[in-house]
A and B are shown apart, each in its own frame.
Chain A
Amino acid sequence: MEKQVYETLGETLFYEKMENGLDVYILPKKGFHKTYATFTTNYGSVDNQFVPLGKTEMKRVPDGIAHFLEHKLFEKEDGDVFQQFSKQGASANAFTTFTRTAYLFSSTDNVEKNLETLIDFVQTPYFSDKTVEKEKGIIGQEIRMYDDNPDWRVYFGAIESMYHNHPVKIDIAGTVESIAKITKELLYECYETFYHPSNMLLFVVGPVDEQKMMQQIRDNQAKKSFPPAPEVKRFAYEEPSAVAEKKKIIPMHVQTNKCFVGIKAPSVPNTGGQKLRHELAFHVLLDYLFGKSSPHYERLYREGLIDDTFMYDYTEEREFGFALVGGDTRDAERLASEIQTVLLSLDVDAIKKEEIERVKKKKIGAFLRALNSPEYIANQFTRYAFYGASLFDILPVLSALTIDEIADVASACFRDSQLAVCEVVPKES
C-alpha cells in the first residue's frame, strides 16, 4: 500500500493496485460520521461503439445502455440491493455521466458490511428478460421527466448543437425508442467489456482504518476470478472542430426564456497533466469574464438580461471539451448576442493580471471548500484519475497558471466557428 501525504491540505491518501488491476484509494477523514464510497467504471454514455470482450469487430449498441445497465445492476435474483443497503443503515445510489458509471453508498454504521455489499453487487450482474422489460417503464418516466424540464432541454440542446458526430450529443438516458432495443444479452456484453476490475476504481473516504479496509478489499478480490482483459477498443468518432449548428430554438410552454451559448474546444490535450492545466485555465478565464465581480456580469444584470440562474461551466472529458454560458433571461436573442460579443471581442493582450490573480484566489478558496465534501473528493478524484491527473494537484497547478496559458485558451476557442446558441422560448398557442 502506498501513502501520499498532502501537508498543506492536511490530507493523507492511501493507494493500492489489486492483482486483477483494480485501483483502490482510501482517504481517512477524522471527525466525520459518514463514510462515502464510490465504485466507478471508466464507461459512460459516449461508449456506444466498441469491440466487445472476446470479439474482433466494432459493435454499435443502443443509446442509453450504460445508464440502463446502471439501473439494472441493482436488481438481483433475490431482490433489490437498495433493500440490503438500507437494512445495513446505508443510503445507496448510482449515476451515469458521459464517460463514467459510479455506484456508491454512504453510511455512518456497518461500513465494512456496506463496502462488501457495494463491491459484490457491482461484480455480480444478474439480468433477466422480465426485469429488463420492467425497467423500460421506469426509465421511460425518467426520460419524460427530463423532456418536461426546460433547464435540461436548453442545456442538452446546446451540446447537441455543438457536435456533428460525437455521441456526447446524445442524451445520457437515450430515448424511449432506443431503450426499447435493449436486451439482457446486450447488457451482459457491455458489462463484460467495461466492468472488468482493470477498468475500474474504488474510492473510500471517511473515518476508516486504512489498513483493515485495504485488507478487506484484497480478500474480497482474491475470492473472485476474472478473465484477462486487454484494454477496451472504443470507436474513434471523427469530429470536425467547428460547431454543427449555430442556433437551435426549442419552443416550450414556459414563462421565462432560457438561453445558453456553447463554446466548443476545437481540441483538448491528451495527457493528464496538460488536461488539468487546460481545464483550470478555461475555468479561470470564464470566471474572469462572467463572475459576479466582472463588469460584464454587472452590466447584464443591470439590464435585466440575467438573474440568479446565470451560470457558466466548462466540461472536459477524454477527447472533448465544451463550455456553456447562460441562464434564464427576458430576451434570449439579446443575451445570446451579448455573450457572443464578450467572447469574440476579448483582447487577449488586455487580460488584467491582478484580476486573474483575484480569480485564482477565489478558486483556491472554492477548492478548500470542496474538500469539506466527501462526495466531491471521491467523484472528482475518480474523474481525474481516469484521465491520468490528480485532484490534489489542483492547488499547485492553479497557483502556477500563467496569463499566456489563459490567453491561449481564449485564442483557440473564442471564435465564431466554435460558438453555438440554444434557446428555449415560450410556445405560441
Chain B
Amino acid sequence: MVDEKVTAVGPVRVHTIPTDKYKTNTIVWKMKAPLAKETVTMRALLPHVLQSGTADYPSVKALRTHLDELYGATLQVDLSKKGEQHVVTIRIDVANEQFLPERPALFDKALQLLADLLLRPALDGGRFVPEIVEQEKRALRQRIQAVYDDKMRYANMRLVQEMCKGEPYALSPNGELEDVDAITAEGLYRYYEQALADDELDLYVIGDVEEEKVLAAVTNRFALPTRSPSAQAPLAPTKARGEVNEVIERQDVKQGKLNMGYRTDVTYEDDDYYALQLFNGIFGGFSHSKLFINVREKASLAYYAASRLESHKGLLMVMSGIEPAHYEKARRIIDEQMQAMKNGDFTDEEMVQTKAVIRNQLLETLDTPRGLVEVLYHNVVSTRQRSIEEWLTGTDQVTREDVVRVAGKVALDTVYFLTGMEGGADDGKTGV
C-alpha cells in the first residue's frame, strides 16, 4: 500500500517513497533524543536558529529569498514529543519541476538546502551568530508564553504537567521559559554538535523520485561520521497512582475547560494497541462516539467533548469546553461513559462503525505527505514494526472482549478544570 524503501547512508536512515500523486516533492528530516530537562530548551531553540541562515544564505532574508526563487519552496520546523522522545522535524516541500515549463532543478536544490541548513549553518567563528540566537530566544519566549493565551492548548498542557509530574513527559516540546535566558551562541553550538553526533537521524523523501538517485544525492551531501547504532529500550508505560488527583485553576474565562487524564497501560508496543484504538474510537475519538453523543448532543453541555491517545506514552486524554456551572454534571456524564465502556455496554454496531472510521482515518492520513511520514515514523519511535496492512487487519480483528479487557486497564489519574473567577466547581464540591 505504501512503497517505502529504507537504506542507511552513514548514520542517516533514508526512507524513499516514490509516488506521482502529488504536484510537489517533500523532504522531511527527523532527529530524536530522549526528552530531558537539561536539553529540552536548547533543543527547542536549535531548529529555529538553523532555519535562520546558512553559510551561503546567512540571514532569514537571504534564505527566504532563495526559497522564493525555488518557486516558493516551503521550509518549516517543529518540535514534538513521541512518548519520552523529543523529536525535531524540518520539512521542505518544493514544486515538482515537471509541472513548470522551464523544468528548473528544484528537488536537487531543495535537498542541498536541507544539507546546508544542517551541516553548514551561518556561523560566527566557532559558534552560532549571536544576533540570530538572541532573536530566536526572544521568539522562543513568545512561543512558550503564547500557550497561556490559547486556553484549549493551555488546559491540555496543564493536565499533562499535573499528571506526569516528575516524569520527563511533563516537559513541553517547546522548552521551559526559565531556561531560555542562559543559552549562549557557544553553548548552543556545542549542543548542536552533540545532537548531530548522538541523535537518531531519519530522512524521508516523498514524491516523483527514484531511490537510487536520492541515495546518491544524500551520500554526496550529508557527510556525517558513521557510528554504532544505540539500542533502543522499549517504552514502559507508567501506572496510575491509584487515587485521583483533582486540580482546579481559576482565570478570567467565560468557558470552563474540563480535561481528564487516564493511564491505559497500553502503548504502540503492545498487542492490545489496536484494541486501545478501538476503545478510544467508541469512547470519544469521533463524532459518533459516546462523549460527543452524551455530553454534546444529548445533554447540550459542550461544543466539543472528545478523547485522544498519546500512543507512545499510554495515556488517554479527555477534553471538553463547558459552562463553569456545569462541572459536576459534565464530570458525571463522562464518568458514566467510561463505566459503560468497562461494562461492555456498547453495541456490535458501534464496533463495526468505529473500525470503519479508523480504517478511513488511516487511509486518509496516507494521502498527505506529512501524514504519511507521521504514520511511518511510529516504526522508528517504537521497537515494534507495523506495516499499514498490519494496522488494517489488526484493527479489523479486534473483538468486543479485547476492548473490554483494555477498558479494564484504563484508570483515571488526574482531573484538571480551568474555570472562571467565581461560581462553578467550588473546589469541585458544589454541584448544579
- Provide the residues of chain B in CB contact with A92, threshold 8 Å: 287
Q: Please, how many residues of chain A have a CB less than 8 angstroms from a CB on the other chain?
A: 73
| Contact present for B68 and A144 (CB under 8 Å) | no
Determine chain A's interface SS by DSSP, over half rule.
Answer: mixed
Which residues in window 356-399 of A have CB below 8 A to B?
358-359, 361-366, 368-369, 371-374
| Contact present for B61 and A298 (CB under 8 Å) | yes
Which residues in window 165-211 of A have CB below 8 A to B?
none
- Provide the residues of chain B in CB contact with A109, threshold 8 Å: 356, 359-360
Contact with B along A122-144 (1 / 0, CB 8 A): 00000000000011111101101
- Provide the residues of chain B in CB contact with A149, threshold 8 Å: 150-151
Which residues in window 18-68 of A have CB below 8 A to B?
29-34
Per the bound structure, the CA–CA distance linking A364 and B352 in Å amounts to 44
- Provide the residues of chain A in CB contact with B323, threshold 8 Å: 141, 144
Known: A148-B254, A256-B149. A293 touches B65 (CB 8 A): yes
| Contact present for A364 and B95 (CB under 8 Å) | yes
| Contact present for B367 and A33 (CB under 8 Å) | yes
Determine how close the nearest CB of chain A comes to the CB of B266; give it in whole angstroms.
Answer: 23
Per the bound structure, the CA–CA distance linking A330 and B145 in Å amounts to 12
Determine whether A221 belongs to the interface, using a CB cutoff of 8 Å to chain B.
no
Known: A86-B287, A255-B149. A141 touches B301 (CB 8 A): yes
| Contact present for B24 and A368 (CB under 8 Å) | yes
- Provide the residues of chain A in CB contact with B20, threshold 8 Å: 31
Determine whether A83 belongs to the interface, using a CB cutoff of 8 Å to chain B.
yes
- Provide the residues of chain B in CB contact with A31, threshold 8 Å: 19-21
| Contact present for A368 and B99 (CB under 8 Å) | yes
Per the bound structure, the CA–CA distance linking A28 and B364 in Å amounts to 16
Q: Which of A222-230, A236-244, A300-308, A333-341 contacts B (4 or more CB under 8 A)?
A: A300-308
| Contact present for A427 and B252 (CB under 8 Å) | yes
Determine how close the nearest CB of chain B comes to the CB of A205; give it in whole angstroms.
Answer: 11
- Provide the residues of chain B in CB contact with A374, threshold 8 Å: 367
| Contact present for A108 and B287 (CB under 8 Å) | no
B68 interface neighbour in A89, A293, A302, Cβ under 8 Å: A293
| Contact present for A144 and B96 (CB under 8 Å) | no
| Contact present for B297 and A253 (CB under 8 Å) | no
- Provide the residues of chain A in CB contact with B93, threshold 8 Å: 369
Contact-residue size bin, chain B (C-beta under 8 Å from the other chain): 35 or more
Determine whether A161 belongs to the interface, using a CB cutoff of 8 Å to chain B.
no
- Provide the residues of chain B in CB contact with A328, threshold 8 Å: 142, 146
Most buried by A among B20, B69, B72, B301: B72
Per the bound structure, the CA–CA distance linking A243 and B23 in Å amounts to 41
Known: A33-B364, A83-B288, A91-B286. A139 touches B303 (CB 8 A): yes
- Provide the residues of chain B in CB contact with A317, threshold 8 Å: none
| Contact present for A147 and B300 (CB under 8 Å) | no
| Contact present for A307 and B143 (CB under 8 Å) | yes
| Contact present for B139 and A308 (CB under 8 Å) | yes
Query: Of all chain A residues, which has the CB nearest B77?
Result: A308
| Contact present for B95 and A368 (CB under 8 Å) | yes
| Contact present for B357 and A89 (CB under 8 Å) | yes
- Provide the residues of chain A in CB contact with B70, threshold 8 Å: 365
Query: Of all chain B residues, which has the CB nearest A361?
Result: B71
Most buried by A among B59, B360, B367: B360
| Contact present for A90 and B142 (CB under 8 Å) | no
Residues of A within 8 A of B (CB): 8-10, 29-34, 80, 82-83, 86-92, 106-109, 134-139, 141-142, 144-145, 147-151, 252-256, 291-295, 297-298, 301-302, 304, 307-309, 328, 330, 358-359, 361-366, 368-369, 371-374, 427
Task: List 30 interface pairs A-B (beta carbons < 8 Å), by A numbering.
Answer: A30-B21, A32-B367, A87-B349, A89-B356, A89-B359, A91-B357, A91-B360, A92-B287, A109-B359, A134-B300, A137-B300, A138-B302, A141-B302, A148-B255, A151-B150, A255-B146, A291-B68, A293-B67, A301-B60, A307-B139, A307-B142, A361-B69, A362-B72, A363-B72, A365-B71, A365-B72, A365-B94, A368-B71, A369-B93, A369-B95
Residues of B within 8 A of A (CB): 19-24, 59-61, 64-65, 67-74, 93-96, 99-101, 135, 138-139, 142-143, 145-146, 148-152, 251-255, 286-288, 292-293, 296-297, 300-304, 321-323, 349, 352-354, 356-357, 359-361, 363-364, 366-369
Given A135-B300, A144-B254, A364-B95, 17 more pairs with CB closer than 8 A: A34-B364, A82-B288, A87-B288, A89-B357, A136-B300, A145-B255, A148-B151, A252-B252, A253-B251, A256-B146, A292-B60, A362-B68, A368-B71, A368-B96, A369-B23, A369-B24, A372-B369
